[in-house]
Amino acid sequence: MNVFKSIKPLEQALNASMVQQRTITSNISNVDTPNYKRQTVSFQDNLQEAMNRNFQSYKSNPKHVPFSNETNATKPVVRTDNNTLNNSNGNNVDMDVEMAELAKNQLLYNAMIEKTNSQFRDLQTAIRGS
């Protein structure tokens, strides 16, 4: 059995958090750019949907036939928000919203790092036997 299978979702969450960080900082850096449209990352919705399907399947070999609940839906998707307009110059970036999203993303990232560290500590304890 692969002892690292519980770390894979954490890795995906950390990667998505990095994509979200880049997207938010891009939005912030373009706050005064005329006609710039805010971008968002929809990873959390996809992750929650995937978690609701219960990842209980396990393949001992990646060449085996995939289970029905295995999808690539947990990849982050960057979308452009063309539906809103906040500024007269065509820009729809709201600095307060972006800063709140940045703080939320930082908390998520820190939680995922703590959980990953916990997984490795548990693995280290199992290897050492105490």
Q: Count Cβ atoms below 10 Å from residue 83 Cβ, excluding itself.
A: 8
Q: Are 56 and 5 in contact (CB under 8 A)?
A: no
Alpha carbons 14 and 108: distance in angstroms, whole number: 9
Task: For residue 78, give the H/E element and its range.
Answer: strand 78-80
- Taking the model in full, what pTM does it have? 0.71
| Domain presence at residue 52 | yes
| Domain presence at residue 20 | yes
| Domain presence at residue 112 | yes
- CA-to-CA separations, 1 to 5, 43, 53, 71, in angstroms, rounded: 9, 28, 21, 21
| Domain presence at residue 38 | yes
More confident residue, 109 or 47: 109
Long-range contact list for 53-60, CB < 8 A, 24+ apart? 55/9, 58/1, 58/2, 58/5, 60/1, 60/2
CB neighbour class for 86 (10 Å; exposed up to 12, middle 13-18, buried from 19): middle
Alpha carbons 23 and 42: distance in angstroms, whole number: 11
Task: Give the pLDDT of residue 27.
Answer: 95
Over residues 31-57, the mean pLDDT reads 72
Range of the domain at 107: 8-128
CA max distance for the chain: 64
Task: Give the pLDDT of residue 1.
Answer: 44
pLDDT at 20 over 90: yes
Count: domains in the chain: 1
Share of the chain above pLDDT 90, in %: 40
| Domain presence at residue 1 | no
